[in-house]
Structures are given as C-alpha cells and as structure tokens.
C-alpha cells in the first residue's frame, strides 16, 4: 500500500462540484492499493501516517507528527500510484489491486487512521473523478510504502 503524504496548510477534494472532504493544517495523503495488499498493510500504513514527523518543532526541525499538532488528515484514493512506469510511455496498472479489493482496503485504511487519530479525518470518494486542491506547506512530500507480503 502506498501513501504519498504531503504537509499542507489546507486541502480539499470535490466531486461534481461538491466538496466531499476538507481539512486545514495537516496532511493530504494520496493512497494507492497494490495487488497482494491486506488489512495488515492498511493498519501499518495508518500507523506510519499518523506518527510520521513532518511538522516543525520549536527549533524548526521536522519532529512533530499530525497527531502531535492535532492536524487534519485527508485521504484520497488514487490507483495510479500503483502503476508500473518502468518502460514505455504508457503506464501499466497490473500492480494495482482490483477495484473491489482497492475499495475495501481504502476503507480499512480510513478506519485505521480514525482509530489512531483524534483530529479530523476526511476522505475523497473511491472511483470518482475528483478535483483535489491543496496548499503544500514547505513543500514537504514523502512517499511511504508498506509492501505486500509477497514483495520484499
């Protein structure tokens, strides 16, 4: 399971002109589910997202997590993160989970983040054509991956 984490001062996601999720200061995470992922990967990624230190402390060092600052988390499903782009000029989506598995594991990730984080948690809509708006603070962006069991 892949999480592209971005530290934001604000972020929102809209579907057909309607805002379906929005946060102030916190993290926007684009989420890709890979073939072979399980709820164990979702739980591990949730723990990493909530605890990952991306916010500055009093000395300006990235030593504080979204949980530490009580910030928001916006989770947006994005299957293209699981694409194989190693050759050619068109991505292969063979590494991505099938839609039913992707939906179930995205839901498991959302629930796991909500269970671990006292701050606001918002989401995009799985399978929808979404418009994501954000103000990347820094910019600070990290690619986090919890590999499926069969993938080292």
43-99: per-residue pLDDT in tens?
999 999 999 999 999 999 999 999 999 999 999 999 999 999 999 999 999 999 999
Strand duo 53-56 + 26-32: pairing: unpaired
Q: What is the CA radius of gyration of the chain?
A: 15
For 100, other C-beta atoms within 10 Å of its C-beta total 8
Is 91:84 a contact under the CB 8 Å cutoff? yes
Q: How far apart are CA 39 and CA 139, in angstroms?
A: 30
Q: Decide yes or no: CATH 3.40.640.10 for domain 2-139.
A: no
- Residue 152 binned pLDDT confidence (cut-offs 50, 70, 90): low
pLDDT at residue 151 in the model: 66
Q: 18-43 pLDDT, tens per residue?
A: 999 999 999 999 999 999 999 999 99
- Residue 150 binned pLDDT confidence (cut-offs 50, 70, 90): confident
Q: How far apart are CA 107 and CA 100, in angstroms?
A: 11
Q: Which helix (H) or strand (E) holds 30?
A: strand 26-32
Catalytic residues: 78-80
- Residue 149 binned pLDDT confidence (cut-offs 50, 70, 90): confident
Q: How far apart are CA 47 and CA 68, in angstroms?
A: 13
Q: 92-145 pLDDT, tens per residue?
A: 999 999 999 999 999 999 999 999 999 999 999 999 999 999 999 999 999 999
Report the DSSP beta bridge partners of residue 93: none
Residue among 80, 130, 81, 127 at smallest CA distance from 103: 127
């Amino acid at each position: 399971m892949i999480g592209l984490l971005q530290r934001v001062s604000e972020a929102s996601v809209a579907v057909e002109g309607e805002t379906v999720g929005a946060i102030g200061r916190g993290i926007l995470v684009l989420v890709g589910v890979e073939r072979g992922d399980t709820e164990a990967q979702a739980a591990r990624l949730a723990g990493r997202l909530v605890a990952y230190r991306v916010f500055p402390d009093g000395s300006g060092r990235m030593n504080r997590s979204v949980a530490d600052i009580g910030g928001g988390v916006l989770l947006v499903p994005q299957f293209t993160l699981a694409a194989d782009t190693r050759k050619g000029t068109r991505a292969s989506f063979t590494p991505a989970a099938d839609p039913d598995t992707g939906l179930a594991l995205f839901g498991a990730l959302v629930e796991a983040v909500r269970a671990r984080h006292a701050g606001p948690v918002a989401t995009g809509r799985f399978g929808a054509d979404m418009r994501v708006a954000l103000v990347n603070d820094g910019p600070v962006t990290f690619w986090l991956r919890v590999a499926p069991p069969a993938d080292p």
